[in-house]
Amino acid sequence: MAIIRYLTSGESHGKALIGILEGIPSGLPVSSVGIDGDLRRRQGGYGRGGRMKIEADRAQVLSGVRFGKTIGSPITILIENKDWQNWEDVMSSDYPPHPPFSKGGMGGFVTRPRPGHADLAGALKYNTHDMRNILERSSARETAMRTALGAIAKRFLSEFGIRIGSYVVGIGEVKSSELKVKSSEKELLESFKIAETSPVRCPDRTSSKKMVQLIDKAVKEGNSLGGIFEVFAAGVPVGLGSHIQWDKRLDGKLAQALMSIQAIKGVEIGMGFEMSRKSGSEVMDEIFYDSSRLTVHGSRFYRKTNNAGGIEGGMTNGMPIIIRAAMKPIPTLRKPLHSVDINTKKPIKAAYERSDICAVPAAGVVGEAMTALVIADAFLEKFGGDGMSEVKTNYASYLKYLSNF
């Protein structure tokens, strides 16, 4: 990323998660209350595991914000792991007084890799026979911090009328009727509003009920479920990203960001894979011009469809950005699959740790955060500015230029 940089640190059952976000201009109103709202959304959703009842994530802003506004320096966020008190001996950074066996197979040494998880590949790569060293960091617990940092990026984008949201369009074999790529920002925001009232964050109420029933079935069977969520960005101006080099293309950056979320196995922009099954005349978004019409992004050019998902040639075209991501089922199963003990090499059932049954609704919130961070970076790369007033002046000038095109 060109302007915004961020790092996360911390283990799933360690003392805390830490995040550092750099590149946000000074003068942006930021509060922990606003960040906590997205943290709560990430912890919700039907099918989440028992840990969500233990952790009530709260963001502590340690630096980069003074009197409620950013000051231009790196922003540091801390999220405490409330369950740390039960894991102090297992996750101690000092030499423990005795081997950390107090939690037996659940919290001590982990030697039974789970199919589909990072356990075995990580153990082989980092030369460890205790896979807790791998699973603690590869855990999706890390996304709590990404969600917090993304909330700040969303707050920045909101100053320019850019709204980011998500909803679930499929869990397991149940698909929502909301699969058609939307071209209307109003329609997207309405779907998002309805989804926020659904236990699985799906705007299709009929499908939502079927998804809940499917999750209940998976619970009884000791199984897990994946699915598909959609992230949108409404109000994005024309011209973010570039066609000049491969690593400047915004769709490439967004795809990488979404694929980096734990358990995500596929990403598509707009109509995505379905485009390959259609002819060109069926899927290209025709262009129109109305001298009396001015979009919210300052352009008089517009499209009636949005099959491209708001990006053409690696650049935003003024339509809403639409991204879909496919999440595989959670690898940790209550009825474990076959595995091999990394030490004895004998066949054994895979390890089980407290886990979700379905985390697709939560993954959508993480997808919002990653999308926001990428778009905020592209926005600042184009318009620049060390303070919010400077960025707003630059953006206003660009919108005026577009209106005269």
pLDDT of 333 reads 85
21-46: string of b/e by CB count within 10 Å (b at 16+)?
bebbbbbbebebeebbebbebbbbbb
SS3 call for 90: coil
For the beta carbon of residue 232, count every other beta carbon within 10 angstroms.
Answer: 28
Give the C-alpha separation, 290 to 153, whole Å: 33
For residue range 94-138, list pLDDT tens digits in order. 876 565 554 444 457 889 999 999 999 999 999 999 999 999 999
Q: Is 93 exposed, middle or buried (0-12, 13-18, 19+ CB in 10 A)?
A: exposed
Contact 142, 57 (CB under 8 A): no
Distance CA(279)–CA(57), nearest Å, equals 48
pTM across the whole model? 0.94
Please tell me the number of Cα atoms within 13 Å of 165 on its side-chain side.
21
Which amino acid appears at position 65 of this protein?
V
Weakly modelled stretches of the chain, pLDDT under 50 = 102-106
Query: What is the structure's pLDDT at 91?
Result: 87
In this structure, what token pair is assigned to residue 100? 């950390």
CATH architecture of 5-403: 4-Layer Sandwich (3.60)
- DSSP lists the bridge partners of residue 69 as 29, 66
CA 252 from centroid of its chain's CA atoms: 16
Q: How far apart are CA 306 and CA 97, in angstroms?
A: 61
- Cβ neighbour number for residue 255 with a 10 Å cutoff: 18
Q: Distance between CA 192 and CA 361 in Å, rounded?
A: 12
What SS3 class is residue 252?
A: helix
